Amino acid sequence: MIMYLLRRLFLLVFVFIALSVFAFSLAYLFPGDPLQNFTGLRQISPEQYALLTSEYQLDKNYILQYLAYLSRIFSGNWGMSFSSQQPLLQEMKMLLPATLELASYALLISFFIGIPIGILSAIKPDGVFSKLVSAVAVAGYSIPIFWWALLLIMLFSLGLGWLPTAGRIGVLYEINHVTGFMLLDILLAATQHQHEALLDALSHLILPTLVLATFPTTVMVRFTRDSILEVWEQSYIKAARAKGLSRGQVLYRHALRNALLPVIRQIGLQFSTLITLAMITEVIFSWPGIGRWLIDSIYQRNYPAIEAGLLVISTLVISVNMLTEILHTLFNPLARKR
């Protein structure tokens, strides 16, 4: 087991090195001056240029440049944003929690709604409920997310006026940025209108979470259902039935564990899709997250920001992937065999 963990970590290190090499080379691959792309400074005077070139070691060979780049990354000097001339790391620290908040709630919904519905619909695969669930799941799976978001906005925000269309919280409330997670920050803030602020934040949260959760939830429903139906055909299930256990006992003791193990792995695989969808959702709902910021940066040709955003998001996706892989191995004795 320890060997396995070490091997995984070793692989992770290599992936990160490759990733940082790619991010580093982007400064050269993007149009414009590499020094501008690295520093994010727009106007650089000749004296400053010479100073920065030696500081960034741009007069040396690529390997030394790369090492200097790495040491800057680790020391937290990620350069400036072209558009705001603010340090990128600080900017992203403000934005990333918003995206994580949205994505984690969507993931939780897909867990606590998707998996039980999948299990229920696998109990009677030919029943009305199961057919209905399958139909809804296929619809949810294939609906374009931006259209679905617009439909929901039309209905709940413009038509019924129940929910706001944009932002994380109303402008009336002032919440200090502590953790970056809005609900947590409100609970920590201890202002006198805490209760109202919480309700307001929740009402802002409902639509984006719903839109973002649609895809992973339907994936979970379909995957859990198929997984259980497949496991149900295995001979150890028949053997357990022949032991005299009831259907419920067999489902609980044998079918669920065997069927849900692949689901853990599925989370890791779905996470990259989830982040991509989160970017679209953020744009539609003006959610101040890293996805919207990255898309804006692409429009503004804000090269340092694209580079940094790419690095952060890929690191996140790869780490989550690796984590689910390790969890899967921990829980599945069969995977430990190798």
Partner 1 sequence: MQLLDIKNLTIELTTPDGLIRAVDRVSLSMREGETRGLVGESGSGKSLIAKAIVGVLNKRWRVTADSFGWRGQELSNLPYEQQRKIIGRDVAMIYQEPSKSLDPTAAILDQLEEAIPDHRLEGPWWKRSYMRRRRAIALLHKVGIRDHQSVMQSYPYQLSEGICQKTMIAMAIAKDPKLLIADEPTTALETTTQAQLFRLLASFNQLKGMSILLISHELELIARYTQSLSVLYCGQLVEAGETASIIKQPYHPYTHALIKSVPGFQPNLPPKTPLYALPGSIPVFQHLPIGCRLGPRCPNARKECVKTPALERLHNHYYSCHFPLIGNKAP
- Please identify, among the stretches 65-73, 173-181, 201-209, 230-238, the one whose residues bind partner 1 according to the rule CB under 8 A: 230-238
- Per CB under 8 A, contacts with partner 1 among 210-229 are none
List Cα–Cα distances, 85 to 2, 81, 88, 294, 296, in angstroms. 45, 5, 8, 15, 15
For partner 1, which residue of 257, 273, 296, 298 counts as binding (CB under 8 A)? 257
For partner 1, which residue of 16, 83, 241, 327 counts as binding (CB under 8 A)? 241
Full DSSP string of 40-63: --S---HHHHHHHHHHTTTTS-HH
Q: What tokens were used for 147?
A: 């259209």
9 sits near partner 1 (criterion: CB under 8 A): no
User: Do 242 and 136 contact (CB within 8 A), yes or no?
Assistant: no
For partner 1, which residue of 186, 261, 284, 312 counts as binding (CB under 8 A)? 261
- Please identify, among the stretches 64-72, 184-192, 216-224, 234-242, the one whose residues bind partner 1 according to the rule CB under 8 A: 234-242
Q: In whole angstroms, how close is the CB of 267 to partner 1 at the nearest point?
A: 18
Q: What tokens were used for 312?
A: 């952060």
User: Do 291 and 283 contact (CB within 8 A), yes or no?
Assistant: yes
Size (the chain), residues: 338
For partner 1, which residue of 46, 244, 248, 299 counts as binding (CB under 8 A)? 244
- Per CB under 8 A, contacts with partner 1 among 297-336 are 332-334
Nearer to partner 1, 128 or 334 (CB): 334
Q: How many residues bind partner 1 (CB under 8 A)?
A: 23
240 sits near partner 1 (criterion: CB under 8 A): yes
Task: For 41, list phi and psi in degrees, rounded to 5.
Answer: -85, 140
Choose among 263, 277, 278: nearest CA to 324. Answer: 263
Nearer to partner 1, 204 or 254 (CB): 254
CA 284 to CA 324: how far, in whole Å? 29
Nearer to partner 1, 163 or 256 (CB): 256
265 sits near partner 1 (criterion: CB under 8 A): no
248 sits near partner 1 (criterion: CB under 8 A): no
Q: In whole angstroms, how close is the CB of 111 to partner 1 at the nearest point?
A: 20
Nearer to partner 1, 123 or 150 (CB): 123
234 sits near partner 1 (criterion: CB under 8 A): yes
Helix (H/G/I), strand (E/B), else coil: 98: helix
Nearer to partner 1, 240 or 326 (CB): 240
Q: Which amino acid, one-letter code, is at 231?
A: V
Choose among 283, 134, 268, 297: nearest CA to 211. Answer: 283
Q: In whole angstroms, how close is the CB of 233 to partner 1 at the nearest point?
A: 7
For partner 1, which residue of 238, 269, 298, 301 counts as binding (CB under 8 A)? 238
The distance in angstroms from the start CA to the end CA of the chain is 10
CA 105 to CA 111: how far, in whole Å? 10
For partner 1, which residue of 168, 204, 225, 254 counts as binding (CB under 8 A)? 254
- Computed from CA positions of residues 21, 27, 31, 33, in that sequence, does the dihedral angle turn out positive or negative? negative
For partner 1, which residue of 18, 253, 296, 298 counts as binding (CB under 8 A)? 253
243 sits near partner 1 (criterion: CB under 8 A): yes
Q: How many CB atoms lie within 10 A of CB 48?
A: 13
Q: What tokens were used for 140?
A: 């949810």
235 sits near partner 1 (criterion: CB under 8 A): yes
Site residues (vs partner 1, CB under 8 A): 233-236, 238-246, 249, 253-254, 257-258, 261, 332-334, 337
